[in-house]
Amino acid sequence: MKKHTYTVINTPIHNIDGIAKITGRAEYTFDITLPRMLHGKILRSPYPHGEIIHIDTSKAERLKGVKAVLTGKDTLGRKQGIWRRFKELCDEEILARDKVRYIGEPVATVAAVDEDTAEEALDLIEVEYNALPGAFEPLEAIKEGAPQLHEHAERNINVTRHIEWGDVDEGFKKADYVREDWFRCSSQAHVCMETHCAVADYTPEGKLTVYTSTQSHYYIKVLLAEILGLRENDVRVISRYTGGGFGSKFELDSAQFCCSILSMKLCQPVKIVLTREEEFSATKRRTPMFYYIRSGVKKDGAFLAKEARVFTEGGAYTAMGATALYLTGFFQSFPYVWPSYRYDGYRVYTNTAPTSAMRGFGAPQATFCAETQIDLIADELGIDPIDIRRKNAMYPGYEVPGQATIQSCGLGQCLDKIDDWIKSRGKLPPNRGIGVSAYGFMSGGIFNWFDTPYAFSSAVLQINIDGKVDLFVGSQDMGQGSNTTMAMICAEELGVKVEDIRLHMGDTETCPVDLGAWGSRETLMQGNAVKMAASKAKQQILEFATAKLAPNIVYDLDIKDGWIHLIARPERGLSFYDVVKEAIRGKDGQPIIARGHYTPHRKGMISPAYSFGVQAIEADVNPDTGKITLKNCVTAHDCGQVINPLGVEGQLEGAIAMAAGYGFTEDLPMDEGKILNPNLVDYMLLRATEMPETKVMEVETYEPEGPFGAKEAGEGLTNPTAGALGNAVFHATGISIKNLPITPEKVLNALKEKKNK
């Protein structure tokens, strides 16, 4: 590997939005108030499945302070969805007109002078439903004769996916040991601290401005324009600060849509903020999955064949579920070399809140099942958990047949580091175990179901007379720190300081298109676009500098820290700031402008690059209560070249908290489609007191496809934790729980069962 020396990259840089955030000045959508602004609320269906017979809004309209009450009949009645290439997958109206399909589905919306009045008005809207029987569990809903949600989807099958390579049947024939298991992976709520919210401001000129908390202002602009019958560029979406996203905020949501139609009706700004209860029960969530896995291996642990089948609980609409269905199938094989693999996925419509993208995007479920089974296989064959993983690990240059080519891959080194750490722990006390899980993830998706005609990422850069750089990006910072990452990439490439960059983001009117912050795509994709723009600008400056310095033609020039110099003779140079001044003068007074863009071409089916890692969790299990206590969580992680160590560390620790929650405390239990814990008292998030000691060991690789060798470090880290936790319980007690979350009650029951055997 080539060693690179950087001035900005890999230094712990303060978050460029930091001061605004720690002084309370960062203005989130939640904080926005516009002159004459009204407040909106949404009436939601109490039935999981039913026909809307009639809606009477007259009483609500008469309430003092109410300005408008709208129902689906007041809309164009268009169905929308983010899978725009496939019309049948655009199946959600947002304001239901004839039929409701989940508890919480919007049926009417109100604008009033204040929130209390709007809420009061909701009580006055009379909706007559004809309740229909519901289908709640995918394994039931797919049966012949189950209540059908959508006319077009027989047996409620929404999407199917098939992935196959190698000769699976032959592989099983050759296997010395075959094992099959069923797993159930639960749902999970994103729980962004800022709930979904939007302020819409429609003016008589026919322009709609929407301030919103989102992961992709571009998607929201296009989706809103389409459903409202406006031209794309008559809609402006502004999103400066986003209070968390985690996958929940890149589809069009009820707050954005309802306040837009209200504002269009009234020509007055309208704000809608979802309550925490709405957020839990009526926004999208992680996809529950029922997994069947059969694996065939050699006596020595070599993987031969794997077959996986999954039925996912889709909820009422497609949302991003089709992507999750593909990715879970792909990552079920990850990060190993399976000579043969067959996957069949079925996404089933159910009368529950739609399931969609959430950090890890189908991979945490897959990784939990796969890694749990690998430990069971290793145990059966008497092989060390690290050894079996090492034997089958992916390596640089490996080609996943028909799917992907792995370029950089530090999985081997990660396994070594974790192995050393486990050995350093020595003999563990009783009822304590260490479990490991390997994982990997994509650095941005290649798929274009959205059907954008634009480049996946673009950046525009302008250098001003004082050397200050205006960088316009389309990426969205929702907390993951992409603003800082982009400023760092730009500063490094251009050879200036991070303080020299003035970043512009979060506004469709001024920023170029980027698909947004999902699928861990920003660092690689937006990063490449920024790097290209900076590199082109640098070229322009170096042309001027070369003319001034007149070096021997064999010398190359570079810029570092604002100093333009001969690479071979660093002391010979000029100030960047001086050259910029003259360059602009030389360009007839035009600032230096450059553009960059990135779209993956010929990079397989999934992603241009993959991160890898191994995590070990040490946990205690109380044999009397089944309670699990996390002790240590150690991760060896290959995210290519680290751009900002502070950022990577934050992503890792945050992912552990979220993924450990998925593993043992978080769940959305339901009764006939009703979520039973839609509040932060009953939905159990880890708090500081539950966090284990965390340790990160970076394994540096260089990813040729990424900016400065970087790849993703955001979502992949949510993949291993549930599996590592389950395996820790297995090694502590000998029981393996295949049904998430691993609650103390499940552990205690399994312990009892084991004792009775």
Burial of 391 (0-12, 13-18, 19+ CB in 10 A): middle
Smallest distance from ligand FES to CB 608, Å: 28
131 binds, among another protein, ligand FES, none (CB under 5 to 8 A by kind): none
Task: Between 60 and 748, name the residue whose CB sits nearer to another protein.
Answer: 748
How many whole angstroms separate alpha carbon 587 and alpha carbon 564?
Answer: 19
* 653 touching another protein, by CB under 8 A: yes
Tokens of 488: 């760092």
Q: Going along 186-302, which residue ranges are E strands?
A: 197-203, 207-212, 235-238, 270-273, 285-286, 289-297
* 688 touching another protein, by CB under 8 A: yes
Smallest distance from ligand FES to CB 193, Å: 4
* 523 touching another protein, by CB under 8 A: no
Q: What are the backbone angles phi and psi of residue 619, rounded to the nearest 5°?
A: -145, 155
How many whole angstroms separate alpha carbon 384 and alpha carbon 686?
Answer: 31
Task: Between 451 and 745, name the residue whose CB sits nearer to another protein.
Answer: 745
How many whole angstroms separate alpha carbon 255 and alpha carbon 336?
Answer: 42
* 479 touching ligand FES, by CB under 6 A: yes
654 binds, among ligand FES, another protein, none (CB under 5 to 8 A by kind): another protein
Smallest distance from ligand FES to CB 490, Å: 24
**Do residues 411 and 325 make contact, with C-beta atoms less than 8 angstroms apart?**
no
Task: Between 212 and 367, name the residue whose CB sits nearer to ligand FES.
Answer: 212
Tokens of 504: 């512009």
How many whole angstroms separate alpha carbon 127 and alpha carbon 517?
Answer: 38
**How many residues are present in the chain?**
757
**Strands 340-349 and 303-315, sheet pairing:** parallel
C-alpha R_g of the chain: 27
Task: Between 138 and 479, name the residue whose CB sits nearer to ligand FES.
Answer: 479
Task: Between 279 and 492, name the residue whose CB sits nearer to ligand FES.
Answer: 279
**Angle made by CA atoms 302, 306, 307, in degrees to the nearest 5:** 170
Instruction: Count Cβ atoms below 10 Å from residue 625 Cβ, excluding itself.
Output: 12
**Do residues 174 and 372 make contact, with C-beta atoms less than 8 angstroms apart?**
no
* 756 touching another protein, by CB under 8 A: no
* 274 touching another protein, by CB under 8 A: no
Contact pattern for ligand FES over residues 189 through 208, marking x by CB under 6 A: ----x---------------
Task: Between 230 and 619, name the residue whose CB sits nearer to another protein.
Answer: 619
Please give the single-letter amino acid code of residue 60. Answer: A
Contact stretch for another protein (CB under 8 A) within 349-357, 386-394, 569-577, 677-685: 677-685
Instruction: Count Cβ atoms below 10 Å from residue 539 Cβ, excluding itself.
Output: 11
**Do residues 385 and 419 make contact, with C-beta atoms less than 8 angstroms apart?**
no
453 binds, among another protein, ligand FES, none (CB under 5 to 8 A by kind): none
* 64 touching another protein, by CB under 8 A: no
User: Of 254, 265, 262, which is closest to residue 110 (Cα–Cα)?
Assistant: 262
Task: Between 459 and 630, name the residue whose CB sits nearer to another protein.
Answer: 630
Smallest distance from ligand FES to CB 244, Å: 5
Tell me how far the alpha carbon of residue 465 is from its chain's centroid: 39
Smallest distance from ligand FES to CB 530, Å: 24
Q: How many CA atoms lie within 13 A of 83 on its CB side?
A: 19
657 binds, among another protein, ligand FES, none (CB under 5 to 8 A by kind): another protein
Contact stretch for another protein (CB under 8 A) within 293-301, 453-461, 479-487, 508-516: 479-487
* 19 touching ligand FES, by CB under 6 A: no
* 640 touching ligand FES, by CB under 6 A: no
* 416-455: contacts with another protein (CB under 8 A): none
Tokens of 362: 């189908």
**Angle made by CA atoms 331, 355, 212, in degrees to the nearest 5:** 110
* 23 touching another protein, by CB under 8 A: yes
How many whole angstroms separate alpha carbon 106 and alpha carbon 42?
Answer: 6
679 binds, among another protein, ligand FES, none (CB under 5 to 8 A by kind): another protein
Contact pattern for ligand FES over residues 669 through 688, marking x by CB under 6 A: --------------------
* 244 touching ligand FES, by CB under 6 A: yes
Residues near ligand FES, by CB under 6 A: 193, 244, 479
